[in-house]
A and B are shown apart, each in its own frame.
Chain A
């Protein structure tokens, strides 16, 4: 039976959502599922990891992993991989996990496949699915090395609690003399997010069709009325209308809400690859030929600037009923 390890990224001492998605996949692959958690909250994370099907957690609570970027985690993972010999090592395609996965794969000299949508077990090995051309095509890549290192895009799978407890094996931090280099000195919060984009069940996204940053409050009002979050296309992020953290798509966030409302977004591949997993897509675009209308459950050909405020009023009225 294949031994599958999930790198349990911790964010503010809690298991990052992507980890639970990876565990759902790891269980599906039918192997022996274990996790590695490094840093503040690692041992405590075992409870959540266990509930999501992890049998064993290698945990180290040392804060060196929170203080220095990537290198301490690479050192410790290298030691663990060498003694534990996993067949597959899953990482989230997130800023923090990417750093560690890249270094580890170079350290071990095994390569990796990044930015994946899926991974399958095939012929005793693993095959990763990678988007090509902004998601228009999907390539199947067979991994040649052990461990096979695969980085998977957030929201590719649905997390599911299955119950269970994980055995915790405490490990010591193996940190090289020269590995305390990139020092994380301070975390600055510039704004508090109301609802995080990737956690939102309803997303109202705007594109260049919103005409200007002065119209984005219209989307915020609709999102507020629905209890959702506001997203954006890259065109408006590049134009500086809204911050990068709101970008949905290939080079932004992947989201999978129950409802995605796209206002004034054309529906370029690089945008839709990040939102096509949404349960229901509603698009408002004044161009009847816009590609987004061809993938929406409900497409409205019309002016978003007129429709959105009316929709907000209607939603508020409906909620009062």
Chain B
């Protein structure tokens, strides 16, 4: 068996329904390799270089693999973010997603996790998906709160930290990563899953994919279209300060005595 065939077996899909609909939430984030800045109101500046969150590339990849194993499936990207998020969406479309919804509204600046989840949920509801795929946690926020919130607001079960996903009929089974191995978790669709890097290397966009993405539909929507009004923010940034730094200790060149020095320190703290 070729390696790709083995990978595909993870996503065996026999759907009774004619079409499996998969929504993937994708977030554009400031390029993690660039220098990050704050805005005047202490939020992460989102006007520099942006990329598709690497965690969400795994989400797109997982969805595409499920689609490839299914009789018929559609992969819809949903993203909330400023105009620039269009670049991240294009990347997902170039990888092979079918179309996208881009929620952009000036009234969403500095949205907290709950607002984000409410807005994404409103857009997802309009699609009535069988599966929602998210990253475990965003690379810039690392809060991991948006997916369980969306699952709650949609009334979906959540199957999280999946390193392997299998869709068979109306059943989704995942291997949930744990410290000692994994848990097998199963639910009927519709369901929400979050994926880890374990689902497989995200594919590169081919030239053909990039060309095709140009004509794929990206529907732009605002808060009004979704019928969502923004509530009071759950939190308020009071201040941002430099983290305390540890004092540097002694730095020595390894001239043959380094081991002795390390052992002496270990002995001092009673580690040996």
- A residues 56-114 near B (Cβ < 8 Å) are 69-71, 74, 95, 98-103, 105-107, 109-114
- Pick from B160, B184, B232, B249: contact of A298, CB below 8 A: B249
> Nearest CB to that of B159 among chain A residues?
A182
Q: 1/0 contact trace for A188-220 toward B, CB 8 Å? A: 111111001000011000000000000000000
In the complex, B127 has a CB within 8 A of chain A? no
B262–A318 CB distance below 8 A: no
A281 at the interface (CB under 8 A from B): yes
* A254 on the B face (CB < 8 A): no
A188-B181 in contact given A182-B157, A300-B258, A314-B263 (Cβ < 8 Å): yes
* Shortest Cβ distance from residue A17 to the other chain B in the assembled complex, whole angstroms: 12
Q: How far is the CB of A66 from chain B (nearest CB, A)?
A: 11
Expressed in whole angstroms, the Cα–Cα distance for A294 and B250 within the complex equals: 9
Q: A299: nearest residue on chain B (CB-CB)?
A: B251
Is there contact, CB below 8 Å, between B114 and A186? Answer: no
In the bound complex, residues from chain A placing their C-beta under 8 Å from that of B158 are 69-70, 99, 103, 182
CA distance A113 to B241 in the complex (A): 18
Q: Are the C-beta atoms of B148 and A295 separated by less than 8 Å?
A: no
Check: B18 CB closer than 8 A to any chain A CB. no
Q: Bound complex: CA of A251 vs CA of B265, how far in Å?
A: 30
Contact A141 B187 (CB under 8 A): no
Contacts between chains A and B (CB distance < 8 A), count: 250
Q: Is the CB of B238 within 8 A of A295?
A: no
Question: Contact: B272 with A319, CB < 8 Å?
Answer: yes
- The answer to the question of B177 belonging to the interface, with a C-beta cut-off of 8 Å to chain A, is yes
A314 touches B259 (CB 8 A): yes
Whether B206 sits at the interface, judged by CB under 8 Å, is no
- Is B178 positioned at the interface, with any CB of A under 8 Å from its CB? yes
Report the minimum CB–CB distance from B115 to chain A (whole Å): 8
Task: Look across to chain B and name the residue whose beta carbon is closest to the beta carbon of A185.
Answer: B184
Q: How far is the CA of A298 from the CA of B247 in the complex (A)?
A: 11
Task: List the one stretch of B3-11, B78-86, B100-108, B136-144 in contact with chain A.
Answer: B136-144
Question: Does B242 sit at the interface, judged by CB under 8 A?
Answer: yes
Known: A181-B191, A259-B271, A298-B249. A106 touches B117 (CB 8 A): yes
CA distance A245 to B161 in the complex (A): 13
Contact check, A111 vs B112: say whether CB atoms are below 8 A apart. Answer: yes
B272: chain A residues within 8 A (beta carbon): 226, 315, 318-319
Q: Does A115 contact B (CB under 8 A)?
A: yes
B248 touching A144, Cβ below 8 Å: no
Q: Which residues of A contact B233 (CB under 8 A)?
A: 111, 144
Known: A143-B234, A319-B272. A98 touches B181 (CB 8 A): no
Question: Complex Cα distance A116/B143, Å?
Answer: 9
Known contacts: A69-B157, A69-B185. The answer to whether A141 contacts B250 by CB under 8 A is no
* Contact A302 B258, beta carbon cutoff 8 Å: yes
In the assembled complex, the CB of B188 is this many whole angstroms from the nearest CB of chain A, namely 7
Contact of B236 among A74, A141, A187, A282 (CB under 8 A): A141
Which residues in window 268-321 of A have CB below 8 A to B?
276, 279-282, 284, 288, 293-303, 306-307, 310-311, 314-315, 318-319
| Residues in B neighbouring A310, C-beta threshold 8 A | 259
A284 vs B254: C-alpha distance when bound (angstroms): 9
Are B181 and A191 in contact, with the CB atoms below 8 A?
Answer: yes
Minimum C-beta distance from A64 to chain B (A): 14
Instruction: Give the contacting residue for B238; candidates A141, A201, A288; CB below 8 A.
Output: A141
A114 x B180 contact (CB < 8 A): no
Instruction: Tell me if A2 is interfacial: C-beta within 8 Å of chain B.
Output: no
| Sample of 13 more A-B contacts, CB < 8 Å, known A74-B152, A299-B248, A302-B254 | A100-B148, A110-B234, A132-B44, A141-B235, A178-B155, A182-B157, A189-B181, A251-B142, A280-B271, A299-B251, A300-B258, A301-B251, A301-B252
Q: List 20 A–B pairs whose Cβ atoms lie within 8 Å, in order of A's numbering.
A: A98-B144, A101-B145, A111-B112, A114-B144, A115-B144, A132-B38, A132-B240, A137-B240, A139-B237, A139-B239, A142-B235, A151-B143, A181-B187, A184-B184, A184-B185, A188-B184, A259-B266, A280-B265, A293-B251, A301-B253
Chain A positions near chain B (C-beta within 8 angstroms):
69-71, 74, 95, 98-103, 105-107, 109-115, 127-128, 131-133, 135-145, 151, 178, 181-193, 196, 201-202, 226, 238, 244-245, 250-251, 258-259, 276, 279-282, 284, 288, 293-303, 306-307, 310-311, 314-315, 318-319
